[in-house]
């Protein structure tokens, strides 16, 4: 009897540090964001006015916010779809096929992931250079007559988000590819041998064996996609376009920063933070729910 009590005390004591840290650095700040989102406050003074849900009401009429929200959803969708498809494809090729320089490709694909976002910004500044000397434009100018001024990758409101999304896909593929490769290589080879004897082609094998068996892994990465795209798109936009031209590439966190810091509306910024939090939470939950399948074991 005494023993179980003692054991419980020990367990509680062992858990305490983690729990305390988690509450101080995760739970408390999160609650604080929601509390501050009900204030009219610039961030520094003692003058804090409670305005209830006023900040949220303004948000839904603020076209800049809606545009930033649209941009964020756009980036999440585009980046997830393309990165997922390409990463799985490359992983499947590298794991299942015998190609020369397999390890070389593995490293090459992974490199963008270890670069800092500032470096990625600088690399893509050279790629997207709007003059006809830019990396992409000098190639494109082969198909155009003289006097062509080049595609304004970061200077055209209708292209800029694609340019940002492409850079994000480029940097994310390697990371997810390695994750998928890890789970693919643990699939026993005899499944594929059996399938081959039954006359299955490579594509059929991929959809009937590989995909179902790495499904749990894909589900986990989908949540990663949502979280990391929200964060990285902010950093990349901050470095590459400063939200421009004229706010066309603002994403949620950029608008949060802009309002809370540059416009002295800290409470309003926190309201954007609260919406971002709820949105990513809900989106992850929904994705988790609709991708639920029976677990397959080998």
Partner 1 sequence: MKMKKMLSLGLSLLMCATLVTGCSGNDNSASESGSKTLKIAGLDGGYGTKGWEEVIKKFEEKTGAKVEYTFDKKISDILRPKMTSGKDVPDVIYLTVGAVGGLTDTLIKEKQIADISALLDETIPGEDVKVKDKVLTNFFEGATADPYGDGTLRLAPLNNAPCGLFYNAGLFKEKGWEVPTDWDGMFELGEKAKKEGIYLFTYPTAGYFDAFFTSLLNATAGPEVYAKLIAYDTEAWKLPEVKEAFEIVGRLKDYTLPTTVANANGDNFTKNQQAVIDGDALFIPNGTWLPGEMAATTPEGFEWGMTGIPAAKAGGDSYSTNFVEQMYVPEKAENKELALQFLAYCYSDEAADLFYKYGALNTEETEKTGKDVYNAGYLIPIKGSEDKVAEADRFMYTLSEKGVKTNSATFMAAEAVEGVTLTGETGILFGSVNSVMNGDKTVDQWYNESVDAVSKIAEANAKADK
CB of 297 to partner 1, least distance (A): 37
- Our CA angle for 280, 283, 287, nearest 5°, is 140
CB of 98 to partner 1, least distance (A): 42
CB of 195 to partner 1, least distance (A): 50
161 lies in the binding site for partner 1 (CB under 8 A) = no
Q: 264, 43 in Cβ contact below 8 A? A: yes
Residue from the set 8, 21, 25, 108 that interacts with partner 1 by CB under 8 A:
21
From residue 49 to residue 88, the character string flagging contacts with partner 1 as x (rule: CB under 8 A) and all else as - is ------x--xx--x-xx-----------------------
Query: How far apart, in whole angstroms, are the C-alpha atoms of residue 78 and residue 236?
Result: 16
Phi, psi of 266 (to 5 degrees): -65, -45
Query: How far apart, in whole angstroms, are the C-alpha atoms of residue 29 and residue 21?
Result: 12
CB of 59 to partner 1, least distance (A): 8
Residue from the set 32, 102, 116, 131 that interacts with partner 1 by CB under 8 A:
131
CB of 13 to partner 1, least distance (A): 4
Task: Estimate the crossing angle of helix 102-114 against helix 63-96, to 10 degrees.
Answer: 160
How large is the C-alpha radius of gyration of the chain? 24
157 lies in the binding site for partner 1 (CB under 8 A) = yes
Q: 171, 112 in Cβ contact below 8 A? A: yes
Q: For the beta carbon of residue 46, count every other beta carbon within 10 angstroms.
A: 5
CB of 151 to partner 1, least distance (A): 9
Query: How far apart, in whole angstroms, are the C-alpha atoms of residue 138 and residue 41?
Result: 50
Q: 69, 75 in Cβ contact below 8 A? A: no
268 lies in the binding site for partner 1 (CB under 8 A) = yes
Query: How far apart, in whole angstroms, are the C-alpha atoms of residue 167 and residue 290?
Result: 28
Residue from the set 75, 80, 87, 121 that interacts with partner 1 by CB under 8 A:
121
Residue from the set 265, 273, 276, 280 that interacts with partner 1 by CB under 8 A:
265
Task: Give whichever of 14 and 194 is closer to partner 1, judged by the CB atom.
Answer: 14
Using the rule CB under 8 A, give the single segment among 123-131, 185-193, 196-204, 205-213 that binds partner 1: 123-131
CB of 250 to partner 1, least distance (A): 8
What number of chain residues touch partner 1 (CB under 8 A)? Answer: 54
Assign 62 to helix, strand or coil: coil
How far is Cα of residue 269 from the mean position of the Cα atoms in its chain? 21
How far is Cα of residue 16 from the mean position of the Cα atoms in its chain? 32
Q: Using CB under 8 A as the criterion, which residues of the chain lie in contact with partner 1 when the complex forms?
A: 6, 10, 13-14, 16-17, 20-21, 42-47, 55, 58-59, 62, 64-65, 121-122, 125, 128-131, 149-150, 152-157, 239-248, 250, 258-259, 261-265, 268
């Amino acid at each position: 009897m005494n023993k179980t009590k003692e054991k419980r005390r020990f367990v509680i004591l062992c858990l305490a540090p983690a729990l305390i840290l988690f509450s101080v650095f995760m739970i408390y700040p999160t609650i604080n964001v929601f509390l501050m989102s009900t204030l009219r406050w610039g961030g520094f003074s003692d003058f804090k006015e409670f305005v209830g849900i006023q900040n949220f009401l303004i948000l839904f009429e603020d076209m800049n916010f809606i545009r930033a929200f649209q941009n964020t959803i756009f980036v999440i969708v585009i980046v997830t779809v393309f990165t997922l498809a390409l990463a799985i494809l490359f992983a499947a090729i590298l794991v299942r096929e015998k190609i020369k320089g397999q390890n070389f490709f593995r490293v090459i694909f992974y490199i963008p992931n270890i670069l800092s976002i500032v470096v990625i910004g600088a690399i893509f500044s050279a790629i997207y250079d709007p003059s006809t000397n830019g990396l992409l434009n000098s190639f494109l100018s082969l198909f155009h007559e003289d006097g062509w001024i080049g595609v304004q990758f970061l200077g055209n409101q209708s292209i800029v988000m694609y340019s940002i999304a492409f850079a994000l896909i480029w940097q994310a593929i390697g990371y997810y590819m390695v994750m998928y490769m890890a789970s693919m290589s643990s699939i026993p080879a005899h499944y594929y041998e059996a399938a081959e004897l039954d006359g299955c082609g490579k594509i059929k094998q991929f959809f009937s064996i590989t995909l179902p068996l790495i499904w749990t892994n894909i589900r986990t990465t989908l949540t990663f996609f949502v979280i990391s795209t929200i964060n990285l798109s902010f950093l990349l936009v901050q470095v590459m376009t400063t939200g421009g031209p004229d706010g066309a590439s603002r994403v949620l966190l950029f608008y949060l920063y802009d309002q809370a810091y540059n416009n002295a509306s800290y409470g309003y910024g926190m309201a954007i933070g609260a919406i971002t939090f709820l949105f990513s939470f809900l989106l992850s939950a929904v994705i988790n729910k609709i991708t639920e399948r029976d677990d397959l074991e080998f």
